[in-house]
Structure 1
Amino acid sequence: MAKQYKTLYPVKYYRDYVAHNIRPDGREFDHYRPVILNSDSISNLEGSAIAKIGKTTVICGIKAEFCQPKPDKPNEGFLIPNLDLPPLCSPKFKSGPPSDQAQAATKVIDDIITNSECIDLTDLCIHKEKLAWCLYTDLICLDHDGAIIDASLLALFTALKNVRLPSVEYDAALDNKIVNLEQWHHLKLHCTPVSSTFAIFEDVIFMDPTAEEESLCQGIITVVTKNDKICSILKPGGATIAEPNLLDCVKMSTARSKLLTKLMETASEESKDEPMYMPPKLEVLSA
């Protein structure tokens, strides 16, 4: 009976739970789902990782190739993210060209990378105007159950922490590259942005919403932090949010980002066969 009631009256179903200060999955409003990270999941790539937040699962693979720098930026390489939302991850996505949501999410991820200044693209330049590294970061969602930006950033930056590039010598006169496979270096990250997504459901805020909660809410907010500071706040339309509630979102996001950053660092140091786990409950989240 409860399943039929939920199907017929989904909003009323959620209101009944909210009236008792709890969500249908048993979480309180300010609690997030379990997080699992696995680093170096794919051995034939320069960097890879799998991130899982609840059921939402994203795998990231990074492939490095040689390229020529742009004429207007002769001493910079490239970092090109791309998020794929295939029909495999959710029935609301169809096969064919990238969906609008996939393109919008890819643009958000690219903006976060640029605005956070997490990577100095000059580190990817091998020889000015002639040769540079291009890092293709492909993100594939295997299961979409909300907070796709959060899971994508976790997978992306865990993979970037493990990128190793060989030493390259370039002879501009002969246009000859010499790759030394005995000398490798890690990609330098200046910071690791972490995001937390919130859903506005009438007069309450859900932290780390599921796909169902996102579909029923009146607005979505994604708070991105780096080094305990706000990097960006994304709110694509929807209902307005009061300033005290927004400050609560920032506070919760900052507290969670410390744990997620530590989780990424630990996952990068551990064996790829031992995924790292963070329990769902978070202390000091109440406003």
Structure 2
Amino acid sequence: MAAAETDTTASGGLAGEMEVEAYRRLFPLAFLERHLRESVRPDARRLAEARPTTVALGAVSSAHGSALIRLGDTAMLASIKLEVMSPPTETPDEGSVAVEFHMPPICSPLVRPGRPAEMAPVLSKALEDVLMSSGMINLKELCLISGKASWLAYLDVYCLNADGSLFDAALISAVAAFTHLEIPLVSVGDDGRVFTVGGNEGKTKYELVNREKRKLTLKDIPFALTCALHKDNVLADPTAEEESIIETFVTVALDSSDRLVSIQKPGGGVTSMATIKTCITLAKERRHKLQEILMDSVEAMEVDQTG
């Protein structure tokens, strides 16, 4: 008798779960609003709560700098490769940075094989704008020989899994990759050509331009938080499901001194100044947390290297 009751309870529970899932798929907005009335979200987060975030530095051994990050189920891989170039005549003592964001079909069912993702160039531009306008990178540090040679840093960000807040995740991965970046040794050949030095740094017959490998001096590091706005609710770090239902979003980027770098609002309804201020307040709290996560990942890498 007890076994029969257990089977009935189990089947009832399964049927109940199937009904909830069917309701979620058929009426996604109503499903979301039922949760919002209780100040909770479908994934059990509070409205202002971002998803767990992890940063792993040095994910690509062949890159000069790299990082793998997870923001909930959103995953990004950023890698930086350095190449020697001739600097432009208008900025002879500066290097440059080229940014490209990639969305392969594996990252989302919305990305079709053989067709470029529409969001990719938009995110590439937004990412480059925030990185450069923040002043995080001193381009003079990428100069090798004024007027003759400088570094071109190719930053490629690959979306491995797209589950919302793609810009936020891409920016974290890019910042982490530049944090991990190590400038290699270079020499000048007899023909004046500048080239990177391989494994036998101390045995090169050419004079080294830089005597030791070094890190970039990063300052005013930017971090971002995207908020989904629905009626009077502000949802921090929306998932792909929430993004598919809600029409209005605000992305706030702040630097490590809490200075405003950018506010993006791609379409959607009219947003009040009070709501924008709420988004900025949440972005400040998120910035502090992300900076702690990044610092912890740097410390963990240093422990691994010394240990």
Q: TM-score, normalised by structure 2?
A: 0.84
2:275 — aligned with what?
Answer: 245
Check the 8 A contact 1:127/1:170 in 2, yes or no: no
1:68 — aligned with what?
Answer: 86
Change (3 A) 1:58 1:111: same
Specify the code of the residue in structure 2 equivalent to 1:202. K
2:152 — aligned with what?
Answer: 134
Worse-superposed segment, 58-67 or 183-192:
183-192
How many pairs does the alignment contain?
273
Check the 8 A contact 1:201/1:216 in 2, yes or no: no
Q: Does 2:47 match 1:18?
A: no
1:262 — aligned with what?
Answer: 292
Q: Does 2:217 match 1:188?
A: yes
Q: What SS does the corresponding residue of 1:62 show, helix, strand or coil? A: strand
2:258 — aligned with what?
Answer: 228
Which of 1 and 2 has higher RCO (CA within 8 Å, sep 6+)? 1
Check the 8 A contact 1:40/1:272 in 2, yes or no: no
Change (3 A) 1:17 1:132: same
Q: Does 2:235 match 1:217?
A: no
Worse-superposed segment, 93-102 or 212-221:
93-102
Alignment RMSD: 1.8
Residue 204 of structure 1: CA displacement?
A: 1.0
Residues 167-198 of structure 1 deviation map (CA, whole Å, 9 limit, x = unaligned): 33447x83233645352111121221000010
Residue 87 of structure 1: CA displacement?
A: 0.9
Instruction: Determine which structure has the larger strand proportion and give its number.
Output: 1
Which of 160, 174, 177 is the matching residue for 2:194?
177
2:301 — aligned with what?
Answer: 271
Residue 97 of structure 1: CA displacement?
A: 5.1
Question: 2: distance between equivalents of 1:269 and 1:261?
Answer: 12
Change (3 A) 1:236 1:26: same
Check the 8 A contact 1:53/1:151 in 2, yes or no: yes
Question: 2: distance between equivalents of 1:56 and 1:21?
Answer: 23
Residues 112-149 of structure 1 deviation map (CA, whole Å, 9 limit, x = unaligned): 01210111112111112221111111111111000111
| Bigger Cα Rg | 2
Q: What SS does the corresponding residue of 1:104 show, helix, strand or coil? A: helix
Q: Does 2:230 match 1:201?
A: yes
Residue 272 of structure 1: CA displacement?
A: 8.6
Q: What SS does the corresponding residue of 1:184 show, helix, strand or coil? A: coil
Check the 8 A contact 1:200/1:239 in 2, yes or no: no
Question: 2: distance between equivalents of 1:5 and 1:214?
Answer: 18
Change (3 A) 1:269 1:107: same
Worse-superposed segment, 177-186 or 7-16:
177-186
Q: What SS does the corresponding residue of 1:161 show, helix, strand or coil? A: helix
Residue 235 of structure 1: CA displacement?
A: 0.8
Residue 95 of structure 1: CA displacement?
A: 2.7
- Please list, as runs of the form range in 1=range in 2, the aligned pairs for 1:101-180 lying within 5 A after superposition: 101-170=119-188, 174-177=191-194, 179=196
Check the 8 A contact 2:149/2:194 in 1, yes or no: no
Specify the code of the residue in structure 1 equivalent to 2:272. A
Q: TM-score, normalised by structure 1?
A: 0.90
Check the 8 A contact 2:69/2:76 in 1, yes or no: yes
Question: 2: distance between equivalents of 1:272 and 1:17?
Answer: 43
Residues 74-133 of structure 1 deviation map (CA, whole Å, 9 limit, x = unaligned): 222111111101111100012335322011001000000121011111211111222111
Specify the code of the residue in structure 2 equivalent to 1:238. G
Instruction: Flag structure 2 segments of 5+ consecutive residues without an equivalent.
Output: 1-18, 203-211
